Amino acid sequence: MDPSWYLETLASDGSRVVHEIKKLPFRVGRDPSGELVESTMGLSRRHAEFSADISGRLRLIDFDSTNGSYVNRQRINGSVLLSDNDVIHFANAEYRIRMRSAETTTFVGRSTPHDEERTVLVPAGRGLSQNFVPHEREFRALLRGQGLSGALQPIVDMRTRAVVAYEWLGRGRHPDLPESPIRLFQMAARLDRESELSQAFRDYGIRTVSSRMKGATLFVNTHPKETFDQAFLAELARLCDDPSAPKLVVEVHETAVMDVARMKELAARLKDIGVRFAYDDFGAGQARLNELGEVPAHFVKFDMGLIRGIDMASERKQKVVGDLVRLVTDLGSIPLAEGVETEAEAEVCRLMGFKLVQGYLTGKPVSVDGPAAPSTPD
């Protein structure tokens, strides 16, 4: 991961203890197979987990632990994005999350990677090789559309189980590059080209659906760096002028939602060009109730961390989720349960008032390159 993250805490003797987050997901709890195993009284066996997010930040997911996970003294439900220096409590165990990224650079000299000569500034304390992105030439080809792929996952009506839309999930298939979109976005971040990668994935998905599923509704993701960019909006407007293009629903990343003034402008622009939008990864661990009230979305996709295992969750968590569903519905948005894997989870979600469902229970993502790729029936 670039930059690297670590947890720091104090031992009983007052000494500083550092836990490097060397790989993701990074699991916390009493389970001996986890990456951070604590015998602290109050920790659940499978307490919480750190995972990567396309924004470059870490996401903390609580697994409905008995005594909770807290970020800056506030208990989370589902997941929350973390910032450098946040204070985290797993039950009574206290940690601080830190990001190791250099703030100064040191002049090293000249190098000639591939086809250009340039001066390289290396962050203090890092080796020269750490500043080059392996397969940069191949990555640039990916941005031009070479080696792109993806999958479609159905979004269905909770009551009838009829497919009402699909979500486009971009992937890579270049032989020299990762398939995982998270790893590709990590490469893009080192080149400051996240918006271009997001656009490349989206364009490929829209072209694919346009040729196979005329009239379909397609949910597409956005990177927070591009959300308010005029070029992004202009591209959406151009796509909507194509009669063969799918009906688009733009998923807004949670870090962009917090800017209420710009979200109001975005909502007005999207309305003008005929594009609906959804708030992604919505959950009680994020301070977004104000934003939801100020700028209601057409759809609100509830965080997987809130939905998975909801049938077995504590009464407290079920009440939190149920109250949020009612709030979303009262504001005129359509609540969508994401990550549903069992009939028991689906039934609880139905009783809570969810209108749409997405998950392995109702349909796994299907690669557009495979023989079973979705298409319009003859």
Select from 56, 83, 100 the last residue of a domain: 100
* Contact by Cβ (8 Å): 293, 332: no
How distant, in Å, are the alpha carbons of 246, 256, 334 from that of 273?
13, 20, 21
Residue numbers in the chain where pLDDT is lower than 70: 1-3, 101-133, 284-288, 370-373, 375-378
Spatial distance between the Cα atoms of 235 and 194, rounded to a whole number of angstroms: 16
Both 143 and 201 in one domain: the answer is: yes
Domain that holds residue 119: 103-132
pLDDT at 230: 93
Does one domain contain both 89 and 116? no
Nearest C-alpha neighbor of 283 from the set 335, 219, 331, 347: 335
Q: Report d(CA 84, CA 4) in Å as an integer.
A: 11
Residue 56: inside a domain: yes
Do 70 and 107 belong together in one domain? no
Same domain (yes/no): 267, 140: yes
Instruction: Examine the domain organization and report whether 232 and 304 are in the same domain.
Output: yes
Cross-strand pairs, 148: 172
Is the same domain home to 142 and 114? no
Q: DSSP secondary structure string, 222-274?
A: --TTTTT-HHHHHHHHHHHT-TTSPEEEEEEPHHHHT-HHHHHHHHHHHHHHT
| The predicted structure's pLDDT at residue 120 | 38
pLDDT at site 126: 42
pLDDT at 241: 86
- If asked whether residues 169 and 302 sit together in one domain, one would say yes
Phi-psi region of 281 (alpha: psi -120 to 50; beta: other; left: phi over 0): left
pLDDT score recorded for residue 123: 44
pLDDT confidence of residue 133: 65
CATH of the domain at 23: 2.60.200.20
Residue 346 falls within a domain, yes or no?
yes
374 in a structural domain: no
Within-domain flag for 79: yes
Domain-embedded: residue 372: no
Query: What residues contact 158, with CB distance under 8 A and at least 6 apart?
Result: 337, 346, 349, 350, 354, 355, 356, 357
Predicted pLDDT of residue 77: 86
Residue 249 maps to which CATH number?
3.20.20.450
Task: Indicate if 204 and 319 belong to the same structural domain.
Answer: yes
Q: Specify if 375 maps to a domain.
A: no
Instruction: Quick: pLDDT tens for 280-331.
Output: 988 755 546 777 889 999 999 999 989 999 999 999 899 999 999 999 999 9
Note the pLDDT tens digit of each residue in 31-52.
999 999 987 778 999 999 999 9
341 in the same domain as 258: yes
Q: Considering the domain boundaries, does residue 190 fall inside one?
A: yes
pLDDT at 372: 64
The pLDDT value given to residue 95: 95
Residue 12 lies in a domain: yes
Note whether 187 and 281 are same-domain residues: yes
Beta pairing class for 58-62 and 79-81: antiparallel
Q: How many domains is the chain partitioned into structurally?
A: 3
User: Both 114 and 175 in a single domain?
Assistant: no
Residues 300 and 165 in one domain: yes
Out of 89, 113, 132, pick the residue that ends a domain: 132
- How far apart, in Å, do the first and last CA atoms of the chain sit? 46
| Cα separation, 204 vs 199, whole angstroms | 8
Mark which of 132, 150, 177 sits at the end of a domain.
132
